[in-house]
Chain A
Amino acid sequence: MKKTLLTLIAMAALSTTALAADIKPALVYGTGGKFDKSFNEAAFHGAEQYKKETGTDFRDFEPTSDTQGEQAIRNFASKGFNPVVAVSFAWTSAMEKVAAEFPDTKFVIVDSVVKLPNVRSVVFKEEEGSYLVGVLAGMASKSGKVGFIGGMDIPLIRKFACGYAQGAKAANAKISVLQNMTGTTGAAWNDPVRGGELTKNQIDQGADVVYAAAGATGLGVLQTAADNKKLSIGVDSNQNHLHPGSVLTSMVKRVDLAVYNAYKDTAADKFTAGIQSNGVKEDGVAYALDDNNAKLVTPEMKAAVEKAKADIISGTVKVHDYMSDNTCPM
Chain B
Amino acid sequence: MSTASVPLPNWITYGLMPLLNLLMAFLISGLVVWSIGEDPVEALKLLIEGALGRGDAIGFTLFYTTSFIFTGLSVAVAFHAGLFNIGAEGQAYIGGLGAALVALSLDHYVPWYVTMPFAVIGAAIFGAAWAFIPAWLQARRGSHIVITTIMFNFIGAALMVYLLVNVFIVPGKMAPETRTFLPGGQLPKLDWLMAWFGLKLGPAPFNVSFLIALVMCFLVWLLIWRSKLGYEMRTLGISPSAAVYAGIPYSRTVIIAMLISGGLAGMMALNPVMGSSARLQVEFVGGAGFVGIAVSLMGRSHPVGIILAALLFGILYQGGADLSFEMPNITREMIVVIQGLVILFAGALEYMFRPAMVHLYQRLKRA
Contacts and interface: CB of A to CB of B under 8 A. Distances in A.
Interface in A25-67: 33, 59-67
Interface string A131-171: 00000000000000000000011111000000000000000
B325 A72 contact: yes
B169 interface: yes
A101 B165 CA distance: 30
A154 B176 contact: yes
Most buried by B among A65, A90, A111, A323: A65
Contact of B328 (A33, A59, A97, A323): A59
A61 B324 contact: yes
A112 interface: yes
B141 to A, nearest CB: 26
Contact of A62 (B154, B162, B172, B332): B332
A68 interface: yes
A185 interface: yes
A294 B279 CA distance: 48
Given A64-B286, A153-B161, A154-B282, A92 B328 contact: no
20 contacts: A59-B328, A60-B328, A63-B321, A63-B332, A64-B332, A67-B272, A67-B276, A68-B321, A72-B325, A93-B177, A112-B174, A152-B161, A152-B282, A153-B161, A153-B162, A154-B165, A156-B174, A185-B154, A186-B283, A323-B174
Contacts of B161: 152-154, 184
A326 B173 CA distance: 10
Given A65-B286, A72-B321, 5 more contacts: A61-B328, A65-B283, A67-B276, A153-B161, A155-B165
B331 interface: yes
Contact of A323 (B60, B172, B281, B287): B172
A93 B281 CA distance: 11
Given A64-B286, A67-B60, A93-B277, A184 B175 contact: no
A91 to B, nearest CB: 9
A75 interface: yes
B60 A92 contact: no
Contacts of B276: 67
B60 A185 contact: no
Contacts of B60: 67, 71
Contacts of A309: none
Is the interface on chain A under 10, 10 to 19, 20 to 34, or 35 or more residues?
35 or more
B205 A112 contact: no
Contacts of B180: 93
Contacts of A125: none
Given A59-B328, A112-B174, A66 B284 contact: yes
A89 interface: yes
A67 B286 CA distance: 10
A211 to B, nearest CB: 20
Interface of B: 60, 63-64, 154, 157-158, 160-162, 165, 169, 171-177, 180, 203, 205, 272, 276-277, 279, 281-284, 286-287, 321, 324-325, 328, 331-332
B169 A93 contact: no
Contact of A93 (B205, B272, B279): B279
4 residue pairs, one from A and one from B, having the closest CB atoms: A89-B174, A65-B286, A184-B158, A184-B157
B175 A112 contact: yes
Contact of A71 (B169, B174, B321): B321
Contacts of B169: 155
A89 B283 contact: no
Contacts of B162: 153
B175 A90 contact: yes
Contacts of A64: 286, 321, 332
Most chain B CB neighbours (cut-off 10 Å) among A62, A64, A89, A113: A64
A69 to B, nearest CB: 10
B284 A92 contact: no
Contacts of B157: 183-185
A74 interface: yes
Contacts of A155: 165, 169, 174, 176
A187 B282 CA distance: 12
B171 A326 contact: yes
Nearest to B89: A185
Contacts of B205: 67
A117 to B, nearest CB: 20
A66 B165 contact: no
B46 to A, nearest CB: 13
A276 to B, nearest CB: 15
Contacts of A92: 173-175
A283 to B, nearest CB: 22
Contacts of B286: 64-67
A66 B324 contact: no
Contacts of A33: 332
Contacts of A154: 161, 165, 176, 282
A62 B332 CA distance: 7
Given A67-B60, A71-B60, A93-B277, A111 B283 contact: no
Contacts of B171: 326
A263 B286 CA distance: 32
A90 B177 CA distance: 10
A33 B284 CA distance: 18
A64 B318 CA distance: 12
A201 B154 CA distance: 21
B203 A101 contact: yes
Contacts of B173: 92
A329 to B, nearest CB: 18
Contacts of A183: 157
Interface string A87-129: 0011011000100010000000001110000000000000000
Nearest to A92: B175
A81 B172 CA distance: 31
B174 A111 contact: yes
A153 B160 CA distance: 11
A76 to B, nearest CB: 9
Contacts of B279: 93
Contacts of A63: 321, 332
